[in-house]
């Protein structure tokens, strides 16, 4: 029963902590621009404010527009129970397989795009079109990067992968596969979460926005769920990157002290990911839409090479 208690706790912990990732990234970007910037807890205040605001819903909205925020948010909660955060001792459930997690995330993206085009406005339409284009191109690099790890670890279960890497001997082949896979995963992380150089998460300009264009018609509670789900998704990707590629420090027993220590180490790794994202967004410009496939293809190629190199691992 104890592992299942931790599983439920993790499902609640991820949405409780995810807004702080957005806050840390915004804070670091502000400091790099010689600004004081908002508190790292400002995203919590924003969500709280939106949850208490009234909604304005278009007369052209269909039930898809109304239920999409709940489905998108629910998909992130299901994935939250399917990834290694608190430890490797979590019980294996059917949704923790790589394919299952990718399809659940894709389901959320699908309903997000449907919500964008449901009203019939121009912004939602081109935002959904761009989002599905980028998502389709990023899917290969993301799946290949995780498949390379799966072949190296001998399992496609995300909850079992960290334990497999901890027990594996370190050699050049393993380090090379991990590095190439991590590069492919990192590009997919930026693409799937609408970060630079794929999208500007802090703008509503017509020529640059993708994610914001799809949720531009939302307000109040549903907008809060959309923003919260986006934060959850970023936190999920950071968790996968931190605990699949750098699993050292993750708890292997249900001992409460081991779990607390594991969370402390995870926060250090999470902060490192947030700093890296903030540095990328502060030092490079957004790429033109028609140049993005080249970067995504490079991600796919790197991950494909990693899969081939797994044959060198005995």
Query: Lowest-confidence range among 116-125, 227-236, 253-262, 289-298?
Result: 116-125
Q: So what's the pLDDT on residue 186?
A: 96
Contact assessment for residue 95 and residue 78, using Cβ atoms and an 8 Å cutoff:
yes
Contact assessment for residue 209 and residue 198, using Cβ atoms and an 8 Å cutoff:
no
User: CA 272 to CA 38: how far, in whole Å?
Assistant: 19
Record the tokens describing residue 124, joined without a space.
Answer: 């939602």
Burial of 301 (0-12, 13-18, 19+ CB in 10 A): middle
- pTM as predicted: 0.95
Nearest to 144 by CA among 203, 185, 195: 185
3-state SS, residue 193: coil
pLDDT digits (tens, 9 = 90+) for 102-122: 999 999 999 999 999 998 888
Residue 31 has pLDDT above 80, yes or no: yes
pLDDT digits (tens, 9 = 90+) for 244-268: 999 888 988 888 999 999 999 999 9
């Amino acid at each position: 029963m104890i592992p299942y208690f931790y599983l439920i706790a993790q499902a609640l912990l991820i949405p409780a902590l995810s807004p702080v990732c957005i806050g840390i990234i915004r804070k670091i970007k502000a400091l790099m621009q010689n600004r004081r910037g908002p508190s790292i807890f400002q995203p919590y205040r924003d969500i709280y404010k939106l949850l208490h605001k009234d909604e304005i819903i278009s007369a052209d909205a269909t039930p898809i527009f109304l239920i999409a925020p709940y489905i998108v948010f629910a998909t992130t909660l299901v994935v939250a129970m399917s990834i290694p955060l608190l430890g490797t001792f979590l019980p294996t459930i059917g949704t923790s397989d790589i394919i299952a997690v990718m399809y659940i995330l894709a389901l959320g993206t699908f309903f997000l795009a449907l919500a964008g085009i449901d009203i019939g406005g121009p912004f939602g339409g081109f935002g959904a079109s761009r989002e599905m284009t980028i998502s389709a191109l990023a899917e290969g690099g993301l799946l290949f990067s995780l498949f390379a790890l799966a072949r190296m670890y001998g399992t496609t279960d995300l909850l079992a992968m960290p334990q497999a890497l901890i027990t594996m001997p370190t050699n050049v082949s393993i380090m090379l596969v991990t590095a190439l896979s991590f590069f492919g995963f990192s590009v997919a992380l930026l693409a799937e979460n609408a970060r630079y150089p794929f999208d500007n998460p802090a703008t509503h300009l017509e020529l640059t926005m993708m994610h914001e264009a799809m949720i531009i018609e939302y307000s109040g509670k549903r907008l809060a769920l959309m923003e919260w789900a986006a934060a959850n998704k970023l936190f999920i990707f950071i968790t996968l990157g931190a605990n699949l590629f750098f699993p050292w420090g993750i708890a292997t027993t249900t001992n409460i002290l081991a779990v607390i220590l594991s969370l402390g180490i995870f926060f250090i790794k999470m902060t490192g990911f947030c700093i890296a994202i903030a540095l990328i967004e502060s030092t490079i410009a957004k790429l033109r839409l028609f140049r993005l496939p080249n970067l995504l293809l490079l991600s796919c190629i790197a991950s494909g090479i990693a899969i081939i190199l797994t044959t060198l691992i005995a």
